[in-house]
């Protein structure tokens, strides 16, 4: 299956699986049944069942992936609406984003090196801290393994969106700004989406964390890749 038929078939399958997963999540409400996690598992099983590779699926659904960019830009709306509140804590926010990003870069790449992974996989690890529209071009230019980049970004986003609120609650983090910033830095787009469902302030600071990681990651990652 290829060409327009593949585009229609895989796009339709993606939409139907996601809508079904969203309905299941709304009914059950378990964090581990997050629609994106369920959709990813179901699509993976479906590709395996019909004997198709991820490359064909990615090519056929590229038009869906393109919409991530405009969606990320639209997430800046709550940041603008709450700009006065954000400016009051801007220096602290920047410090948190820089510290978290550097920590994530070093730990991810160091852990993969310790495991004996090839350099292309080591370069993919740190990109899990940035959102996919930024991670993929950076990974391609640096020679990182792109499938590892995709897996890392998705895993980071899904784990953060499903387990992040539980971890923050267990640690006693109640401030909406801190919760949002942690979700945005740790699980980028998926974390922002989850935060926007909770509260506008939480969503705005999550967006700020995601944007900070994307902008600073674009600056710091090429330097890290060249040094590594």
Per-residue pLDDT of 11-54, as tens digits, reads 999 999 999 998 998 888 777 787 878 888 898 888 888 888 77
Convert 24-45 to b/e letters by CB count within 10 Å (16 or more is b): ebeeeeeeeebbbbbbbebbee
Which one-letter DSSP state was computed for residue 129? Answer: G
pLDDT at 68 over 80: no
207 shares its domain with 109 = yes
- CA 182 to chain centroid, in Å, comes to 13
Q: How many domains would you assign to the chain?
A: 2
How many CB atoms within 10 Å of residue 158?
A: 19
Q: At what angle do helices 132-142 and 200-227 cross, to 10 degrees?
A: 0
Q: Under a CB-based contact definition with an 8 Å cutoff, are residues 180 and 51 in contact?
A: no
Indicate whether 38 and 106 sit together in one domain: no
Stated pTM of the model: 0.77
Which of residues 49, 66, 83 is at a domain's end? Answer: 66
Residue 20 sits in the same domain as residue 51? yes
Same domain? 58 vs 123: no
Q: Give 38's contacts (C-beta < 8 A, 6+ positions apart).
A: 21, 24, 25
Considering the domain architecture, whether residues 125 and 198 belong to the same structural domain is answered as yes
201: its two tokens:
């302030």
CA dihedral (221, 222, 223, 228) in degrees, to 10, reads 80
Choose the final residue of a domain: 66, 99, 115. 66
Is residue 8 located within the same domain as residue 29? Answer: yes
- pLDDT tens for residues 124-159? 888 888 888 788 888 888 888 888 888 888 888 888
Half-sphere exposure of 16 (CA within 13 A, CB side): 7
Residues 105 and 197 in one domain: yes
Whether 61 and 80 share a structural domain:
no
Same domain, 16 and 87: no
**Residue 146, burial from CB neighbour count under 10 angstroms (0-12, 13-18, 19+):** middle
pLDDT 10s digits, 93-107 = 888 888 888 888 888
Same-domain check for residues 152 and 54: no
CB 194 within 8 A of CB 221: no
Instruction: Based on the fold, state whether residues 208 and 139 are members of the same structural domain.
Output: yes
Q: How far is Cα 173 from Cα 59, in angstroms, rounded to an integer?
A: 41
**What is the residue range of 32's domain?**
4-66
pLDDT number for residue 14 = 92
Let me know whether 142 and 45 are in one domain: no
């Amino acid at each position: 299956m290829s060409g327009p038929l593949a585009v229609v078939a895989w796009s339709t399958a993606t939409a139907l699986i996601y809508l079904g997963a969203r309905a299941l999540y709304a009914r059950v409400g378990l964090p581990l049944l997050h629609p994106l996690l369920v959709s990813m598992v179901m699509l993976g099983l479906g590709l395996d069942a019909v004997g198709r590779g991820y490359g064909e699926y990615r090519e056929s659904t590229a038009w869906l992936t393109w919409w991530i960019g405009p969606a990320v830009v639209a997430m800046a709306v709550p940041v603008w609406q709450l700009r006065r509140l954000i400016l009051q804590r801007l220096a602290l926010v920047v410090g948190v984003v820089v510290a978290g990003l550097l920590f994530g870069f070093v730990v991810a790449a160091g852990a993969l090196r310790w495991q004996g992974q090839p350099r292309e996989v080591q370069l993919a690890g740190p990109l899990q801290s940035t959102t996919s529209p930024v991670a993929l071009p950076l990974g391609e230019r640096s020679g990182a393994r792109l499938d590892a980049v995709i897996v890392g970004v998705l895993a980071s986003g899904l784990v953060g969106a499903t387990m992040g609120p539980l971890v923050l609650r267990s640690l006693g983090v109640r401030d909406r700004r801190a919760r949002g910033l942690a979700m945005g830095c740790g699980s980028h787009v998926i974390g922002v989406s989850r935060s926007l469902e909770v509260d506008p302030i939480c969503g705005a600071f999550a967006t700020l964390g995601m944007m900070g990681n994307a902008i600073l990651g674009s600056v710091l990652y090429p330097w890290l890749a060249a040094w590594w």
